[in-house]
Chain A
């Protein structure tokens, strides 16, 4: 990259890093005024049978899941497997759900899921869907709030380390994806190249992807913008006046490829990329950009057939800023910024400069003015770099050390996490001065206020998502669940109310008023609408059929028996498919199905649903199967037997129940 004019460099951005290392990760828990008091206890107590006020949707990080907590109670309500196999339900194990984890690298049963992001209408979370990114093998998933299940996963080609994702525009027109780890790309095809790693500066590139979201939530990559090979870290779309823009932080503008800890921390400023997504979309719609081969899978739940399907999409459209000026600009931002957060009015763009001693606040209005006046201080690969002094609106002083992420309360205040100084800092969007601060235990990464990144935050609670737990809970060996802390932000002073442990490594969370989601809930699947090709809707239709070495068992469950529950005629060498349909039509009556020796998980079949387990018996004998989910007083009686005869034997297929 071309060097930037550094005459306006502010020396105090360079934090004496060594000096603050000593402060990291060691807090001395002082007695909070409120924590542990009966006042705090009353504020978080949700009486038996009562419901929480908010759903908290937390990423599971390296669990590949999303976890659901009630707020203010901190109760763990549910876990949604997304980029992970879940033995508890058979997600990723059953024939119906395995296609969800299909990629061009094959079946990938794990990922690192970072950022839940809710769909929005008019800049407000609408409770339809929640998206989450996969960092490792780049993907984005959509979870349907109607049933809290993963409905779709799309793979992102021409990218690696999909971190700045999946941030949503104000009417869910697009969600973002981007390259955190740039990779060498062929100039024409963008294919990953076999080149020396040391040729980073010359060959490595990044992409910013815009995924179009359809009426039913279906995701398609509309276009990718080719960008210099920095590390694109986080993103947020604008809102209100800035609604047509998306902002992406970057670090490693040094383009280092080894020991980034040191080598990517040299520049005093990195960039926030401002993308005019609406303009880019119009250009692409008018035939700009080029379509290139980029095979990637789109896996989706076919609700009619109740099973996931994979389709291979062959191409993407790539648009180059050099050939299409005006779609992207760089805002210099101190220093190695993590979060980029847009206030509820859409006027301010706040960078979480994690190595900066001030918190930079850019003005959208000034940015537009600088673009119009061509007030540039340089350019990188054809992308204009705006003049810092022309776009910066304020620098918040004393905002803590290691600032990462800011959300808003809708009452004129912003709240920023400071990882190194282990605190949440409250500051005014009018004076840009810090008005309050509170210690967290320990080292917060992100924070969450319900609706806190939308146009209508509900500024009652804040959750700090801490990275380090240490002594906060009963010890559980070397590894402890991460500690989240609920903070009351309804008054002038922040007050700590509650610690609660969270599963995996929650990076990020979203909150939404429970009422919005509650009214959308499906209680069971209508049996009439189950068009699974292997569904069995009445006991009279249950049967066992041989097809070469495949044996298909069409089975039903209802409290509390299987039909059929005695099966004979299976042979060693057969592949036995148990297609199990749960005939119940009532809320919260799933049945389980487990088969001795099956090299897979159980099935947990919701009422009205069909799920398939494959069993390849290895030895002759009689093998029991049973229901795992306690369903009635006679649940223990819910069992059956499958007889396995030696290969080549002539025991005919036979089956039955109660005869």
Chain B
């Protein structure tokens, strides 16, 4: 539940910058030009502030993730083709698991403050909505993404 409340706070402190970057990660970390830490540049802004290691594929966790994805994400995402948002089967080729989880859980801030998130917003124009996904659910969704096989690209 604490994770949820953190998300809630992050999701709803839309303006005013009251709690920005005060206790985000390691204060001695190098700040990039955009005001984000190196960790945030690589792994996104949000409640997941430690690198998530992907071990052996956990098929039952992936099954769980697929069910959550079908319930909360399929209005805008399809596994292997672009729809309202990008095909999720290729997300892990571009992003770390940690970044992906932060994007799922904190889309509003990610598309406003993270340069990569901003780029996606400009390309797709529809904001990725906050869907009230817990940290455990986001982890399961990432596991499901690992199981999706993208079709061969025709060049």
- A589 touching B129 by the CB < 8 A rule? yes
Alpha-carbon separation in the docked complex, A632 to B129 (Å): 11
Check if A559 is an interface residue, CB within 8 A of chain B.
Answer: yes
Alpha-carbon separation in the docked complex, A452 to B40 (Å): 52
Instruction: Report the minimal beta-carbon distance from B87 to chain A, rounded to whole angstroms.
Output: 13
- B126 touching A538 by the CB < 8 A rule? no
Known A-B contacts A538-B70, A561-B84; the reply to A586 vs B75 at CB < 8 A is no
- A538 touching B71 by the CB < 8 A rule? yes
Summarize B's interface: helix, strand, loop or mixed. loop
- Residues on B with C-beta less than 8 A from A563 are 75
Stretch touching chain A among B10-18, B53-61, B112-120, B139-147: B10-18
Residue of A nearest to B108 (CB): A586
Check if B127 is an interface residue, CB within 8 A of chain A.
Answer: yes
Alpha-carbon separation in the docked complex, A585 to B12 (Å): 12
Interface residues in B102-116 by Cβ distance below 8 A to A read: 108
Cβ-neighbour of A538 out of B12, B75, B132 (below 8 A): B75
Q: Mark A517-550, 1 if CB is under 8 A from B, else 0.
A: 0000001001100000000011110000000000
Known A-B contacts A538-B70, A540-B70, A540-B74; the reply to A658 vs B132 at CB < 8 A is no
- Residues on A with C-beta less than 8 A from B12 are 523, 587
Interface residues in A636-658 by Cβ distance below 8 A to B read: 658
Check if A634 is an interface residue, CB within 8 A of chain B.
Answer: yes
Cβ-neighbour of B126 out of A523, A526, A537, A560 (below 8 A): A560
- B129 touching A538 by the CB < 8 A rule? no
Q: Mark B61-82, 1 if CB is under 8 A from A, else 0.
A: 0000000001110111000000
Residue of A nearest to B130 (CB): A586
Check if A94 is an interface residue, CB within 8 A of chain B.
Answer: no
Alpha-carbon separation in the docked complex, A586 to B131 (Å): 7
- Residues on A with C-beta less than 8 A from B11 are 586
Alpha-carbon separation in the docked complex, A561 to B126 (Å): 10
Q: How large is the interface on B (under 10, 10 to 19, 20 to 34, 35 or more residues)?
A: 20 to 34
Cβ-neighbour of B129 out of A558, A633, A658 (below 8 A): A558
- Residues on A with C-beta less than 8 A from B127 are 559, 632
Check if A308 is an interface residue, CB within 8 A of chain B.
Answer: no
Interface residues in A544-577 by Cβ distance below 8 A to B read: 556, 558-561, 563
- A558 touching B75 by the CB < 8 A rule? yes
- Residues on B with C-beta less than 8 A from A561 are 75, 84
- Residues on A with C-beta less than 8 A from B76 are 558
Check if A49 is an interface residue, CB within 8 A of chain B.
Answer: yes
Check if A52 is an interface residue, CB within 8 A of chain B.
Answer: no
- B130 touching A539 by the CB < 8 A rule? no
Alpha-carbon separation in the docked complex, A93 to B11 (Å): 33
Alpha-carbon separation in the docked complex, A632 to B76 (Å): 14
- A583 touching B125 by the CB < 8 A rule? no
Check if A584 is an interface residue, CB within 8 A of chain B.
Answer: yes
Alpha-carbon separation in the docked complex, A587 to B76 (Å): 19
Alpha-carbon separation in the docked complex, A538 to B11 (Å): 23
Instruction: Report the minimal beta-carbon distance from A341 to chain B, rounded to whole angstroms.
Output: 41
- Residues on B with C-beta less than 8 A from A49 are 15-16
- Residues on B with C-beta less than 8 A from A537 are 71
Alpha-carbon separation in the docked complex, A589 to B129 (Å): 10
- B129 touching A634 by the CB < 8 A rule? no
Alpha-carbon separation in the docked complex, A560 to B16 (Å): 27
- Residues on B with C-beta less than 8 A from A585 are 72, 129-132
Cβ-neighbour of A634 out of B70, B108, B125 (below 8 A): B125
Residue of B nearest to A542 (CB): B75
- Residues on A with C-beta less than 8 A from B71 are 537-538
Alpha-carbon separation in the docked complex, A540 to B127 (Å): 21
- Residues on B with C-beta less than 8 A from A586 are 11, 108, 129-130
Alpha-carbon separation in the docked complex, A585 to B83 (Å): 20
- A539 touching B125 by the CB < 8 A rule? no
- Residues on A with C-beta less than 8 A from B126 are 559-560, 632-634
Interface residues in A562-606 by Cβ distance below 8 A to B read: 563, 583-587, 589
Alpha-carbon separation in the docked complex, A526 to B4 (Å): 14
Alpha-carbon separation in the docked complex, A633 to B126 (Å): 7
Instruction: Report the minimal beta-carbon distance from A14 to chain B, rounded to whole angstroms.
Output: 62
- B132 touching A526 by the CB < 8 A rule? yes
Cβ-neighbour of A658 out of B15, B16, B83 (below 8 A): B83
- Residues on A with C-beta less than 8 A from B125 are 632-634
Alpha-carbon separation in the docked complex, A526 to B132 (Å): 9
- B129 touching A539 by the CB < 8 A rule? no
- A539 touching B15 by the CB < 8 A rule? no
Residue of B nearest to A584 (CB): B129
Instruction: Report the minimal beta-carbon distance from B145 to chain A, rounded to whole angstroms.
Output: 18
- B83 touching A538 by the CB < 8 A rule? no
Residue of B nearest to A556 (CB): B75
- Residues on B with C-beta less than 8 A from A658 are 83
Residue of A nearest to B125 (CB): A633
Residue of A nearest to B11 (CB): A586
Interface residues in A20-49 by Cβ distance below 8 A to B read: 49
Cβ-neighbour of A583 out of B16, B70, B75, B83 (below 8 A): B75
Alpha-carbon separation in the docked complex, A527 to B130 (Å): 13
Alpha-carbon separation in the docked complex, A117 to B131 (Å): 37
- B131 touching A539 by the CB < 8 A rule? no
- Residues on A with C-beta less than 8 A from B108 are 586
- A539 touching B132 by the CB < 8 A rule? no
Alpha-carbon separation in the docked complex, A169 to B127 (Å): 49
- Residues on B with C-beta less than 8 A from A634 are 125-126
Q: Which 10 A-B pairs have the closest CB atoms?
A: A558-B75, A585-B132, A586-B130, A539-B75, A633-B125, A585-B131, A539-B74, A583-B75, A559-B126, A538-B71
Q: Report 29 cross-chain contacts, Cβ distance below 8 Å, ordered by A residue.
A: A49-B15, A49-B16, A523-B12, A526-B132, A527-B132, A537-B71, A538-B71, A538-B72, A538-B75, A539-B74, A539-B75, A540-B70, A540-B74, A556-B75, A559-B126, A559-B129, A560-B84, A563-B75, A584-B129, A585-B72, A585-B129, A586-B11, A586-B108, A586-B129, A587-B12, A589-B129, A632-B126, A634-B125, A658-B83
Q: What is A's interface to B at a CB cutoff of 8 Å?
A: 49, 523, 526-527, 537-540, 556, 558-561, 563, 583-587, 589, 632-634, 658
For the A-B complex with A540-B74, A561-B84, A586-B129 known, give 18 more contacts whose Cβ atoms are closer than 8 Å: A49-B15, A49-B16, A523-B12, A537-B71, A538-B75, A558-B75, A558-B84, A560-B84, A583-B75, A584-B129, A585-B72, A585-B129, A586-B11, A586-B108, A632-B125, A632-B127, A634-B125, A658-B83
